[in-house]
Amino acid sequence: MRQHSIRLRNQYKQKKAKKKMFGLFLLFTLLICLSYFGYKYYIQGKTDILNDTKNIVVPIIKKEPPKPKIQESELREKIATVLLSYPGVDTTIVISEPKNDVPIIIGNNEKYLGASTTKLISAIYYLSKVESGQRTLTQYFGSYTAEWHLAQLINQSNNASWDIFIKNLGYKNIENYAHQIGATSFNNNDNSIIASDTNLITKKLYNGELLNETHTNLLYSYMTGTNNEDLIPAYFTDGTEVLHKYGILYGNLHDTAIVKDKNSTYILTIYTNSDAGLYYETRMQLFHDIVKQVSWYQNNK
């Protein structure tokens, strides 16, 4: 009886062990199946994604075409239109850039009475003499120093101070100096000059070709906030820096300026002469109309 019980117990254990082994086999098989199908699904999904990218539509971003540059011919056309509105005014316009040897000249560029614009020549010549040790800024002419008279000459366009420098330096010497620095048209006897020579002197001043930095800056300090800001400077209301010397005599109204505009620095000289008796305000407007077109060109070319 006892042996029979032991045999039954052993048979039970064997059956239980077989069931356990069979269960482990099924679990192992299930894991293999799951791994296989899971991996296949993952790879297939990746492939599908890659295939789908072939059909993705990438939006094309259209770039704005570059703004066409303004040509010099367009500037000339616009200024010609401006000048038609001011009959009876002989006008020459010269535009140059510090590093460009070829200026734009609009008009006949014949000789004008330079009026007070040629005071720049006397001032630059005197300062060059200071640099060479032949003159000083502290020497007196009458009750005031040479430096005071220079400020009067350029900032206030004082003719009495101009006469002092002409006598001190000499008519012919001033003329010869002007020729040496490139203003070959200048005649000091009748104070005549072409606009392009005035422009050249103004440009050379800016380029540091005529005076050292100290004396150039001294002259600059006289060329801003002058006793007449009606012409080239008056057009700019946005803080643009304008250093200039104007001139007015009989029918002649001129201005030569270093303009530090939004995107460029340039030298602008406008000479006008009229026997038509136009009001000063009308001539002012002519300057502003010209400057408007020049500024437009310089900032868009």
Q: What is the pLDDT of residues 77-87, one digit of tens each?
A: 999 999 999 99
pLDDT value at position 120?
98
- Residue range 272-294, pLDDT digits in tens: 999 777 789 999 999 999 999 99
- Residue range 180-189, pLDDT digits in tens: 999 999 999 9
- Report pTM: 0.78
232 exposure class (CB count in 10 Å sphere: 0-12, 13-18, 19+): buried
- Residue range 109-152, pLDDT digits in tens: 999 999 999 999 999 999 999 999 999 999 999 999 999 999 99
In whole angstroms, what is the distance from residue 177 CA to residue 194 CA?
16
Mean pLDDT across the stretch 56-64?
Answer: 62
* pLDDT of 295 higher than 70: yes
pLDDT value at position 89?
94
* pLDDT of 46 higher than 60: no
The count of other CB atoms within 10 Å of the CB of residue 149 is 24
How would residue 54 be classed by pLDDT, with cut points 50, 70 and 90?
low
pLDDT value at position 263?
87
> Angle at Cα 102 formed by Cα 178 and Cα 267, nearest 5°?
65
pLDDT value at position 70?
84
* pLDDT of 243 higher than 80: yes
Whole-number percent of the chain with pLDDT over 70:
78
How would residue 55 be classed by pLDDT, with cut points 50, 70 and 90?
low
- Residue range 245-260, pLDDT digits in tens: 999 999 999 999 999 9
Bridge partners (DSSP) of residue 194 are 111
With the C-alpha atoms ordered 205, 208, 209, 215, is the resulting torsion angle positive or negative?
positive
In whole angstroms, what is the distance from residue 215 CA to residue 241 CA?
19
* Mean pLDDT of the residues in the chain: 88
pLDDT value at position 262?
83
Which of 45-49, 153-157, 269-273 is predicted least confidently?
45-49
Bridge partners (DSSP) of residue 207 are none
- Residue range 159-218, pLDDT digits in tens: 999 999 999 999 999 999 999 999 999 999 999 999 999 999 999 999 999 999 999 999
